[in-house]
Chains A and B, each alone.
Chain A
């Protein structure tokens, strides 16, 4: 198939091992539109996700403000509230968190595993353009009164098709990223030695490949039903959303946040400057968290399914890998030093929010802890909205932190360190304010059910949520401002500003088309740059 071919400009790069001259790079629009360079594709993903993400965060802010006065329609109106609610939920995952992490992974993973190109560069490019088209069609479908609960049949069909395109695009990206980690490593870089961020992206990609196709199959069914049948399966367009709701609750929502763990491990190891003695534990913890995030079996769940031992057990066990990873990272500082960097604050903030969400998910999995909502499905209660917000916000903070940490690979020079330290603190506060009120409302057994305006929880709590989302938006803006230096070329930009331990820090800033200027050393450990320093 054409998508499996390697384009001419990267085929040599993918297999070359000698220090051949860097091929001439295309310039102008051609360099963007026709590029198979993973760094260009990754940057496109990142910029697009940030633009669309701010739109989605703004939409969420509207719902939080709406919830300050429950049962009234102050902002969105009776006709559009449900549709926009679904857009906000879908958008946070498919327009913000996933593309942000995919973009970061597209830039960083091939560099980390010492590859001169990403696997299937044309598929990687197709994934971006497909995702962008899917995002545009998704927004377009809502604009013509489509989406779940929409009044336009064509709009509803377009919504299903656009969702299918978004899912397919994410799957294409997952195949590219996972294949790069599995098949494009240099000699000596065994899977056990792969940097933790790349390892986490491998696990995340595999989990996406094992769960999102189930959603795709469901979308096929919905499309046939709505377009060709008489909606005998789904019923009304409003019922489209409950069929995909399993995506947004635990354990499935955790698949979005798997790379948070890889970022934490990589950043903390680098600032410690030490070899990770418990690397096997860290890798096993990330893999276990991935396995415990498999939630595709909850397609259209019943109350009985949600109370099954499998769901309860997965919910409870999911906390353990996080604690194991934290222990592995803490062990680093017994042997190494510690330097406070913005990347550390980002990584720790993302981890803390994820831990909050996963711990809450564990509590919520225990039967009878949460009162059953009145007349509503358990999956639809406000408590799990808080859990899913935690996972998604952790992924977003990790995505922004990754851009900051690998700024010299994503852009042309390091990001602003001062603003970079402020942004994660604002994001942490904002995320906590967004998540905790919903969890409290759920635990207290009041405000558990969604209100008619699709908000929930306490009215006072929703004021805190509104403040939290505003802080998240502010944090994203501060982070984006801190990234502005990435756009400017600086001749003396450092290739390795943090004293890195892994192969990506051998590339110059910005990395050339074929990534590495010189031959890679023989990899003999998980920290090849420590080996190199010891050698010299």
Chain B
């Protein structure tokens, strides 16, 4: 019997190292995306309700300049290229390029934080209106996501510097890249739903 023959074999060979970090990051990223889906969904529903009644969504005297948000979007898109570069460079054991790419990714992330806080100073929006509250809550939560992504990328950078990741095992970097791509995707939705359509 085939089953019996299989059981007569010696114990199972050691399995390949399970991709625990990648799986865990994917699950956590899915949860994070759902949190933003909820937040942005509430934002759109509230805005739709106000506009449907013929009201103005943004308080009088408030403007959301498009330039900082668009520059932020372009910067985030660029950071998507650099983190892919980092993953690819580690895969080729090209460590100098990997360090450069990870450094650039972190720098781009910091630049987006800078552009968003600059945007806050330009909007003149107060939090005691529905629009202000929701815009600050959504974009502020995304800033927290960027910080988390940067910390994750930085830790993976240090681990790469320490030699933990290399051509045959770059799981940590792939996991950090996955989270970072989710950060970019959320920013793209925010850019369109808040900064462009206002």
Contacts and interface: CB of A to CB of B under 8 A. Distances in A.
Interface of A: 1, 4, 6, 14-15, 17, 119-120, 123, 171, 174-176, 178-179, 182-184, 186-188, 205-206, 209-218, 220-221, 224-225, 228-230, 232-233, 296, 299-300, 519-525, 531-532, 534-535
Nearest to B172: A4
Contacts of B21: 4
A220 B140 CA distance: 10
Interface stretch (B88-96, B98-106, B113-121, B126-134): B126-134
B34 A296 contact: yes
21 contacts: A17-B14, A174-B27, A174-B31, A182-B23, A183-B19, A205-B27, A206-B27, A209-B27, A213-B38, A216-B38, A224-B133, A224-B136, A232-B130, A233-B134, A296-B34, A519-B12, A521-B11, A524-B7, A531-B3, A532-B7, A534-B3
Contact of A184 (B20, B35, B134): B20
Most buried by A among B19, B20, B45, B136: B20
B24 A225 contact: no
Interface string B38-49: 110110011000
A104 to B, nearest CB: 20
Contact of A299 (B42, B129, B136, B140): B42
A60 B21 CA distance: 41
A216 B19 contact: no
A212 B34 CA distance: 8
Contacts of A296: 34, 38
B84 interface: no
A522 B9 contact: yes
Contact of A521 (B7, B20, B28): B7
A211 to B, nearest CB: 7
A188 B7 CA distance: 11
Given A213-B34, A213-B35, A217-B36, A519 B7 contact: no
A215 to B, nearest CB: 8
Nearest to A518: B11
B141 A218 contact: no
Interface of B: 3-4, 6-9, 11-15, 17-21, 23-25, 27-28, 30-39, 41-42, 45-46, 127-130, 132-134, 136-137, 140-141, 151-152, 155, 175
Nearest to B9: A522
A535 B8 contact: yes
A532 B9 CA distance: 12
Contacts, number: 150
8 closest cross-chain pairs (CB), A and B: A214-B38, A213-B35, A519-B11, A217-B38, A230-B128, A217-B39, A187-B12, A217-B35
Contacts of B3: 524-525, 531, 534
A9 to B, nearest CB: 16
A110 B28 CA distance: 19
Contacts of A120: 20, 24
Contacts of A206: 27
A215 B18 CA distance: 31
B42 A221 contact: yes
A206 B36 CA distance: 17
Given A299-B41, A531-B7, A232 B129 contact: yes
Contact of B7 (A123, A179, A535): A535
B97 to A, nearest CB: 24
Contacts of A523: 12
Given A224-B127, A232-B129, A209 B7 contact: no
B13 A187 contact: yes
A213 B31 contact: yes
Contacts of B8: 535
Contacts of A188: 12
A249 B42 CA distance: 19
Given A1-B155, A183-B24, 19 more contacts: A174-B27, A175-B28, A178-B27, A187-B12, A213-B31, A213-B32, A214-B35, A217-B34, A218-B39, A220-B141, A221-B39, A221-B42, A228-B136, A233-B46, A521-B11, A521-B12, A522-B7, A534-B4, A534-B7
